[in-house]
Protein backbone atom coordinates (compact mmCIF):
# COMPACT_ATOMS: atom_id res chain seq x y z
CA UNK A 1 0.00 0.00 0.00
CA UNK A 2 1.37 3.38 -1.04
CA UNK A 3 1.43 5.80 1.90
CA UNK A 4 1.12 9.55 1.38
CA UNK A 5 -0.78 12.58 2.57
CA UNK A 6 -2.02 15.78 0.98
CA UNK A 7 1.29 17.63 1.04
CA UNK A 8 3.02 14.70 -0.69
CA UNK A 9 0.85 14.70 -3.83
CA UNK A 10 0.90 16.84 -6.94
CA UNK A 11 -1.63 16.25 -9.69
CA UNK A 12 -0.33 16.35 -13.27
CA UNK A 13 -2.03 18.75 -15.71
CA UNK A 14 -3.85 17.71 -18.87
CA UNK A 15 -4.67 19.90 -21.89
CA UNK A 16 -7.25 22.55 -20.97
CA UNK A 17 -10.46 22.33 -23.03
CA UNK A 18 -12.39 25.28 -21.61
CA UNK A 19 -11.91 28.98 -22.36
CA UNK A 20 -12.55 30.15 -18.81
CA UNK A 21 -12.59 28.44 -15.46
CA UNK A 22 -16.10 29.84 -14.99
CA UNK A 23 -17.26 27.17 -17.47
CA UNK A 24 -16.14 24.38 -15.10
CA UNK A 25 -18.95 22.62 -13.22
CA UNK A 26 -18.12 21.98 -9.55
CA UNK A 27 -21.52 20.58 -8.57
CA UNK A 28 -21.92 17.21 -6.89
CA UNK A 29 -24.89 14.95 -6.16
CA UNK A 30 -25.41 13.39 -2.74
CA UNK A 31 -28.58 11.78 -1.49
CA UNK A 32 -30.71 12.93 -4.41
CA UNK A 33 -29.71 16.60 -4.15
CA UNK A 34 -27.17 18.57 -6.12
CA UNK A 35 -24.82 20.89 -4.28
CA UNK A 36 -22.68 23.78 -5.50
CA UNK A 37 -19.33 22.33 -4.37
CA UNK A 38 -18.16 18.99 -2.89
CA UNK A 39 -17.45 20.61 0.48
CA UNK A 40 -19.28 20.26 3.80
CA UNK A 41 -18.36 22.22 6.91
CA UNK A 42 -17.41 19.95 9.82
CA UNK A 43 -20.29 19.14 12.15
CA UNK A 44 -18.52 20.86 15.05
CA UNK A 45 -19.89 23.45 17.44
CA UNK A 46 -17.30 26.05 16.36
CA UNK A 47 -18.02 25.57 12.65
CA UNK A 48 -21.80 25.20 12.21
CA UNK A 49 -24.90 26.57 13.90
CA UNK A 50 -28.59 26.97 13.00
CA UNK A 51 -28.13 30.23 11.13
CA UNK A 52 -25.19 28.98 9.05
CA UNK A 53 -27.04 25.72 8.30
CA UNK A 54 -30.05 27.65 7.04
CA UNK A 55 -27.88 29.90 4.87
CA UNK A 56 -25.98 26.92 3.43
CA UNK A 57 -29.17 25.01 2.60
CA UNK A 58 -30.73 28.11 1.02
CA UNK A 59 -27.66 28.61 -1.18
CA UNK A 60 -27.26 25.00 -2.38
CA UNK A 61 -24.44 23.94 -0.10
CA UNK A 62 -24.39 20.71 1.89
CA UNK A 63 -24.23 20.92 5.67
CA UNK A 64 -24.41 18.56 8.66
CA UNK A 65 -25.66 20.08 11.90
CA UNK A 66 -23.67 19.07 14.99
CA UNK A 67 -25.16 16.92 17.79
CA UNK A 68 -24.10 18.98 20.80
CA UNK A 69 -27.48 20.50 21.59
CA UNK A 70 -29.58 17.33 21.33
CA UNK A 71 -32.71 18.88 22.82
CA UNK A 72 -32.92 21.35 19.89
CA UNK A 73 -32.68 18.85 17.03
CA UNK A 74 -36.39 18.16 16.55
CA UNK A 75 -37.19 21.88 16.45
CA UNK A 76 -34.29 22.39 14.04
CA UNK A 77 -35.70 19.81 11.61
CA UNK A 78 -39.18 21.34 11.83
CA UNK A 79 -37.81 24.85 11.30
CA UNK A 80 -35.84 23.78 8.21
CA UNK A 81 -38.86 21.97 6.77
CA UNK A 82 -41.12 24.98 7.46
CA UNK A 83 -38.69 27.02 5.37
CA UNK A 84 -38.86 24.31 2.68
CA UNK A 85 -35.21 23.45 3.22
CA UNK A 86 -33.62 20.05 3.73
CA UNK A 87 -32.69 18.96 7.27
CA UNK A 88 -29.32 17.30 7.96
CA UNK A 89 -28.58 16.31 11.56
CA UNK A 90 -26.09 14.28 13.61
CA UNK A 91 -26.76 11.55 16.16
CA UNK A 92 -24.73 9.38 18.49
CA UNK A 93 -25.36 5.80 19.58
CA UNK A 94 -26.54 6.08 23.19
CA UNK A 95 -29.95 4.71 24.19
CA UNK A 96 -31.38 8.24 24.31
CA UNK A 97 -30.57 8.56 20.61
CA UNK A 98 -32.77 5.55 19.84
CA UNK A 99 -35.57 7.31 21.72
CA UNK A 100 -34.98 10.44 19.62
CA UNK A 101 -35.09 8.50 16.35
CA UNK A 102 -38.25 6.69 17.46
CA UNK A 103 -39.85 10.02 18.40
CA UNK A 104 -39.13 11.41 14.94
CA UNK A 105 -40.59 8.33 13.30
CA UNK A 106 -43.71 8.38 15.51
CA UNK A 107 -44.36 12.00 14.55
CA UNK A 108 -43.47 11.51 10.88
CA UNK A 109 -40.62 14.01 11.10
CA UNK A 110 -38.10 12.75 8.57
CA UNK A 111 -34.73 14.51 8.24
CA UNK A 112 -33.32 14.11 4.76
CA UNK A 113 -29.83 13.34 6.10
CA UNK A 114 -28.74 11.70 9.37
CA UNK A 115 -25.04 11.41 10.21
CA UNK A 116 -23.97 8.93 12.87
CA UNK A 117 -21.08 10.88 14.34
CA UNK A 118 -18.69 8.66 16.31
CA UNK A 119 -14.90 8.96 16.63
CA UNK A 120 -14.44 5.20 16.05
CA UNK A 121 -17.21 4.34 13.62
CA UNK A 122 -16.21 0.75 12.87
CA UNK A 123 -18.25 -0.49 15.81
CA UNK A 124 -21.16 -2.80 16.57
CA UNK A 125 -22.93 0.17 18.16
CA UNK A 126 -22.79 2.12 14.88
CA UNK A 127 -23.95 -0.87 12.84
CA UNK A 128 -26.91 -1.31 15.20
CA UNK A 129 -27.84 2.38 14.89
CA UNK A 130 -27.62 2.29 11.08
CA UNK A 131 -30.00 -0.66 11.03
CA UNK A 132 -32.40 1.02 13.45
CA UNK A 133 -32.55 4.26 11.46
CA UNK A 134 -33.05 2.37 8.21
CA UNK A 135 -35.82 0.37 9.87
CA UNK A 136 -37.86 3.29 11.24
CA UNK A 137 -36.76 6.17 8.97
CA UNK A 138 -36.03 4.39 5.68
CA UNK A 139 -36.19 7.58 3.61
CA UNK A 140 -33.36 9.31 5.50
CA UNK A 141 -29.94 9.26 3.84
CA UNK A 142 -27.59 7.80 6.46
CA UNK A 143 -23.93 8.84 6.66
CA UNK A 144 -21.86 6.76 9.10
CA UNK A 145 -18.36 7.15 10.47
CA UNK A 146 -15.67 7.82 11.12
CA UNK A 147 -13.65 4.94 9.70
CA UNK A 148 -10.16 4.23 8.41
CA UNK A 149 -10.24 0.89 6.56
CA UNK A 150 -11.94 -0.84 3.61
CA UNK A 151 -13.34 -3.47 6.02
CA UNK A 152 -15.06 -0.71 7.96
CA UNK A 153 -16.53 0.80 4.80
CA UNK A 154 -17.88 -2.57 3.72
CA UNK A 155 -19.37 -3.34 7.14
CA UNK A 156 -21.16 0.02 7.41
CA UNK A 157 -22.41 -0.13 3.81
CA UNK A 158 -23.66 -3.68 4.34
CA UNK A 159 -25.52 -2.51 7.45
CA UNK A 160 -27.34 0.04 5.30
CA UNK A 161 -25.22 3.21 5.38
CA UNK A 162 -25.71 5.37 2.29
CA UNK A 163 -22.28 7.01 2.68
CA UNK A 164 -19.26 6.60 4.95
CA UNK A 165 -17.03 9.24 6.49
CA UNK A 166 -13.30 8.45 6.34
CA UNK A 167 -10.75 9.92 8.72
CA UNK A 168 -9.66 9.06 12.25
CA UNK A 169 -7.74 11.83 13.95
CA UNK A 170 -6.18 13.78 11.04
CA UNK A 171 -7.93 17.06 11.90
CA UNK A 172 -6.09 20.07 13.27
CA UNK A 173 -8.07 20.03 16.54
CA UNK A 174 -7.88 16.26 16.98
CA UNK A 175 -5.28 14.54 19.14
CA UNK A 176 -6.52 10.95 18.79
CA UNK A 177 -3.21 9.91 17.24
CA UNK A 178 -1.33 11.34 20.22
CA UNK A 179 -3.65 10.04 22.94
CA UNK A 180 -4.27 6.55 21.52
CA UNK A 181 -1.59 5.80 18.95
CA UNK A 182 -4.28 5.13 16.32
CA UNK A 183 -5.48 7.12 13.34
CA UNK A 184 -4.99 8.37 9.79
CA UNK A 185 -2.96 11.46 10.70
CA UNK A 186 -0.10 11.74 8.20
CA UNK A 187 -1.66 9.31 5.71
CA UNK A 188 -5.26 10.56 5.49
CA UNK A 189 -5.25 10.91 1.71
CA UNK A 190 -3.91 7.37 1.29
CA UNK A 191 -6.66 6.17 3.66
CA UNK A 192 -9.29 7.89 1.50
CA UNK A 193 -7.90 6.14 -1.56
CA UNK A 194 -7.77 2.76 0.21
CA UNK A 195 -11.34 3.05 1.48
CA UNK A 196 -12.74 4.44 -1.79
CA UNK A 197 -11.50 1.39 -3.67
CA UNK A 198 -13.72 -0.80 -1.48
CA UNK A 199 -16.72 1.54 -1.44
CA UNK A 200 -19.87 1.05 -3.50
CA UNK A 201 -21.41 4.21 -2.11
CA UNK A 202 -20.10 7.76 -1.56
CA UNK A 203 -17.10 8.50 0.63
CA UNK A 204 -16.75 11.72 2.61
CA UNK A 205 -13.11 12.57 3.32
CA UNK A 206 -13.00 14.09 6.79
CA UNK A 207 -9.95 15.85 8.20
CA UNK A 208 -6.46 16.91 7.25
CA UNK A 209 -7.46 19.40 4.54
CA UNK A 210 -5.22 22.46 4.86
CA UNK A 211 -5.47 24.12 1.42
CA UNK A 212 -8.08 24.46 -1.32
CA UNK A 213 -5.96 22.24 -3.53
CA UNK A 214 -6.52 19.43 -1.04
CA UNK A 215 -10.19 19.39 -2.06
CA UNK A 216 -9.21 18.44 -5.62
CA UNK A 217 -6.78 15.81 -4.30
CA UNK A 218 -9.58 14.28 -2.19
CA UNK A 219 -11.78 14.05 -5.30
CA UNK A 220 -8.92 12.48 -7.26
CA UNK A 221 -8.57 9.68 -4.74
CA UNK A 222 -12.25 8.81 -4.50
CA UNK A 223 -14.07 11.24 -2.21
CA UNK A 224 -17.51 12.44 -3.26
CA UNK A 225 -17.57 15.11 -0.56
CA UNK A 226 -14.86 16.71 1.58
CA UNK A 227 -15.51 17.70 5.22
CA UNK A 228 -13.53 20.76 6.30
CA UNK A 229 -13.12 22.06 9.84
CA UNK A 230 -10.40 24.61 10.61
CA UNK A 231 -10.54 26.26 7.17
CA UNK A 232 -14.27 26.90 7.60
CA UNK A 233 -14.01 28.09 11.19
CA UNK A 234 -13.03 31.61 12.19
CA UNK A 235 -15.53 33.46 10.02
CA UNK A 236 -17.73 36.40 10.89
CA UNK A 237 -20.72 34.04 11.08
CA UNK A 238 -18.88 31.22 12.87
CA UNK A 239 -19.78 30.32 16.46
CA UNK A 240 -17.08 31.15 18.98
CA UNK A 241 -15.56 34.20 20.57
CA UNK A 242 -13.53 36.78 18.68
CA UNK A 243 -10.20 37.55 20.38
CA UNK A 244 -7.58 40.18 19.61
CA UNK A 245 -3.98 39.26 20.42
CA UNK A 246 -1.04 41.52 19.51
CA UNK A 247 -3.19 43.37 17.02
CA UNK A 248 -4.34 40.20 15.24
CA UNK A 249 -7.89 38.84 15.32
CA UNK A 250 -8.69 35.20 16.07
CA UNK A 251 -11.66 32.96 16.78
CA UNK A 252 -12.04 29.94 19.03
CA UNK A 253 -11.89 26.47 17.48
CA UNK A 254 -12.03 23.16 19.30
CA UNK A 255 -12.50 19.47 18.58
CA UNK A 256 -15.69 17.55 19.24
CA UNK A 257 -13.87 15.35 21.74
CA UNK A 258 -12.15 18.27 23.46
CA UNK A 259 -12.45 19.18 27.13
CA UNK A 260 -14.11 22.45 26.04
CA UNK A 261 -16.85 20.60 24.17
CA UNK A 262 -17.32 17.84 26.75
CA UNK A 263 -17.28 20.19 29.74
CA UNK A 264 -14.98 17.79 31.61
CA UNK A 265 -11.50 16.33 31.30
CA UNK A 266 -12.50 12.77 30.49
CA UNK A 267 -11.68 10.71 27.39
CA UNK A 268 -10.32 13.83 25.76
CA UNK A 269 -9.16 13.36 22.15
CA UNK A 270 -9.49 16.95 20.95
CA UNK A 271 -7.98 20.30 21.78
CA UNK A 272 -8.88 23.97 21.73
CA UNK A 273 -7.00 26.48 19.60
CA UNK A 274 -7.33 29.84 17.93
CA UNK A 275 -7.75 30.25 14.17
CA UNK A 276 -7.22 33.49 12.24
CA UNK A 277 -10.35 35.57 11.67
CA UNK A 278 -11.28 35.01 8.02
CA UNK A 279 -14.07 37.49 7.28
CA UNK A 280 -17.25 36.34 5.57
CA UNK A 281 -17.99 32.67 5.01
CA UNK A 282 -19.42 33.30 1.53
CA UNK A 283 -16.08 34.73 0.37
CA UNK A 284 -14.19 31.61 1.50
CA UNK A 285 -16.74 29.30 -0.16
CA UNK A 286 -16.56 31.31 -3.39
CA UNK A 287 -12.77 31.08 -3.36
CA UNK A 288 -13.00 27.32 -2.82
CA UNK A 289 -15.31 27.05 -5.82
CA UNK A 290 -13.08 29.20 -8.03
CA UNK A 291 -9.97 27.23 -7.08
CA UNK A 292 -11.81 23.97 -7.77
CA UNK A 293 -12.86 25.34 -11.17
CA UNK A 294 -9.19 26.01 -11.86
CA UNK A 295 -8.42 22.42 -10.76
CA UNK A 296 -10.96 21.15 -13.31
CA UNK A 297 -9.34 23.26 -16.03
CA UNK A 298 -5.91 21.81 -15.17
CA UNK A 299 -7.46 18.33 -15.20
CA UNK A 300 -8.46 18.86 -18.82
CA UNK A 301 -12.20 18.54 -18.32
CA UNK A 302 -15.43 20.37 -17.65
CA UNK A 303 -16.56 18.84 -14.35
CA UNK A 304 -15.31 17.06 -11.24
CA UNK A 305 -15.09 13.70 -13.01
CA UNK A 306 -12.07 14.98 -14.92
CA UNK A 307 -10.08 15.28 -11.70
CA UNK A 308 -10.61 11.58 -10.94
CA UNK A 309 -8.77 10.69 -14.16
CA UNK A 310 -5.60 12.72 -13.55
CA UNK A 311 -2.18 11.23 -13.12
CA UNK A 312 -0.21 12.23 -10.05
CA UNK A 313 3.23 12.06 -8.51
CA UNK A 314 4.27 11.40 -4.92
CA UNK A 315 6.98 13.85 -3.92
CA UNK A 316 7.28 13.86 -0.13
CA UNK A 317 6.54 17.21 1.49
CA UNK A 318 6.82 18.91 -1.88
CA UNK A 319 4.13 21.55 -1.78
CA UNK A 320 6.01 24.29 0.06
CA UNK A 321 9.51 23.47 -1.19
CA UNK A 322 11.08 26.65 -2.49
CA UNK A 323 8.87 28.99 -0.43
Ligand-binding annotation for 82, yes or no, is no
Ligand-binding annotation for 220, yes or no, is yes
Ligand-binding annotation for 212, yes or no, is yes
Ligand-binding annotation for 105, yes or no, is no
Ligand-binding annotation for 219, yes or no, is yes
Ligand-binding annotation for 91, yes or no, is no
Ligand-binding annotation for 127, yes or no, is no
Ligand-binding annotation for 249, yes or no, is no
Residues that are catalytic: 174
Ligand-binding annotation for 208, yes or no, is yes
Distance CA 210, CA 72 (A): 32
Ligand-binding annotation for 62, yes or no, is no
> Which residues make Cβ contacts (< 8 Å) with residue 321, sequence separation at least 6?
none
Contact 269, 255 (CB under 8 A): yes
Length of the chain: 323
Ligand-binding annotation for 210, yes or no, is yes
Ligand-binding annotation for 106, yes or no, is no
Ligand-binding annotation for 216, yes or no, is yes
Rg, C-alpha atoms of the chain: 19
Distance CA 92, CA 125 (A): 9
Q: Which residues are annotated as a binding site?
A: 203-226
Q: Which residues are annotated as a binding site for NADP(+)?
A: 203-226
Amino acid sequence: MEIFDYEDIQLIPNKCVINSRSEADTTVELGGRRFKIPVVPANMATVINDEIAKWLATNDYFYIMHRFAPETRRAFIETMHAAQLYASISVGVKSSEYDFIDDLAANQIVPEYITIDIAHGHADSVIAMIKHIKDVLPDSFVIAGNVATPAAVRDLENAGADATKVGVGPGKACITKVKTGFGTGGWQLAAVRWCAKAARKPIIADGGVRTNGDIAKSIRFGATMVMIGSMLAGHQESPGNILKIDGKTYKQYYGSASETQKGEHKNVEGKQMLVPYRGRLVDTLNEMQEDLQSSISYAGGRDLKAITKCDYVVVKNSIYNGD
